[in-house]
Amino acid sequence: MESQSYSSPVEPPDAPREPILTLPGALTAYIALIAAIHLRVLLPVDLENWTIDVFGFIPKRYDSTLLNITFPGGAGAKVWTFVTYSLLHANLSHIGFNILWLLPFGSALARRFGPVRFFVFMAVTAAAGALAHLVTHEHAIAPMIGASTSVSGAMAAAIRFAFVKGSFLSFHRGDADAAAKVPALSLSRALRNGRVLGFLAVWFGVNIIFGLGSISIGSEGASVAWQAHIGGFLAGLMLFSLFDPVPRAMPHAADASSPDEPGRV
């Protein structure tokens, strides 16, 4: 395959170059939606608690073997809460922590996928995280809320192309759109890439430490649903190819660990 680079070696002086961290419209809309929904905290306490019960993910809602508890929302809540819980947050620090991680990874993914794919992907990874939480907390009554599972999925999907030469975590990158649309690594190649493996080790280590250590983030007394994070992360890592509109890299394509010659991508 002929050598190509993602930005022309000679560009007109006035050629627009978009900063890597400029927010795409889809991510801006996602963050705005989360912020608007958080205005529920202005409701009376009883009504605010009702919204958590109706739209938060409660494993006990699906359990009919023990004490019979009726939750608001009826049968419909057994369906929509697989996604709606991810749009609810405990407080502003909870929102801020998730947005902090979305800025680099979510921006790249939204540019790559486009709005429709991005929103569906975030919903699918939220559902995967909820399923992992249900399997590991089948009798839990406490609601799970927060976008961390979808954020985890976005991070996992982004590392499939983040370290490829020209992308946003490589040493050689162009503007934001070009960095987001480099050909991705296959799953098998990604799992043989040293930078990807290092990222995976750190990510899983941090989540397990936070989970087993009962360290809370964003809400006093609230524990980290680390199993749900892992569920969302694995879904993002494995389902990325189903959403990716960019043609796959050839097996010999250069990545960030290659020498500094022009990439063959």
Q: What is the CATH number of the domain that holds 142?
A: 1.20.1540.10
Nearest to 141 by CA among 45, 47, 69: 69
53 inside domain: yes
The pLDDT value recorded for residue 82 is 97
Q: Is residue 5 part of a domain?
A: no
Please give the tally of structural domains in the chain: 1
252 confidence band (pLDDT: 50, 70, 90): low
Confirm whether 226 is domain-assigned. yes
Angle at 253 between CA 248 and CA 254, to 5 degrees: 130
User: How far apart are the C-alpha atoms of 89 and 35, rounded to whole Å?
Assistant: 9
Q: Is 116 a member of any domain? A: yes
Question: Where is average pLDDT lowest: 37-41, 129-133, 248-252?
Answer: 248-252
Residue 14 counted as domain residue: no
The 3-state DSSP class for residue 192 equals coil
Q: 165-219, pLDDT tens digit by residue?
A: 888 887 665 677 888 889 999 999 999 999 999 999 999 988 877 766 544 444 4
pLDDT in tens, 10-39: 444 444 454 545 789 999 999 999 999 999
| Domain around 112 | 25-243
Angle at 58 between CA 63 and CA 144, to 5 degrees: 150
How many helices (H) and strands (E) would you count in the chain?
10, 0
Q: What percent of the chain has pLDDT over 70?
A: 77
Q: Which of 45-54, 115-124, 130-139 tops mean pLDDT?
A: 115-124
Residue 49 domain-assigned (yes or no)? yes
Distance CA 155, CA 162 (A): 9
145: nearest Cα among 167, 161, 162, 126: 126
Q: Is 118 left (phi over 0), alpha (psi -120 to 50) or beta?
A: alpha
Q: In the chain, what's the furthest Cα-to-Cα distance?
A: 70
Query: How far from 237 is each of 7, 104, 262, CA to CA, in Å?
Result: 27, 17, 28
In a domain, 117, yes or no: yes
Cα dihedral 179→181→185→190 (10° resolution): 50
Task: Indicate the pTM of the whole model.
Answer: 0.80
| Among 48, 134, 135, 28, CA closest to 88 | 48
| Helices 148-158, 115-136: inter-axial angle, 10-degree rounding | 120
**Residue 14: per-residue pLDDT:** 46
Confidence category of residue 89, pLDDT binned at 50, 70, 90: very high
Asked, for residue 8, whether it belongs to a domain, the answer is no
pLDDT reported for residue 181: 87
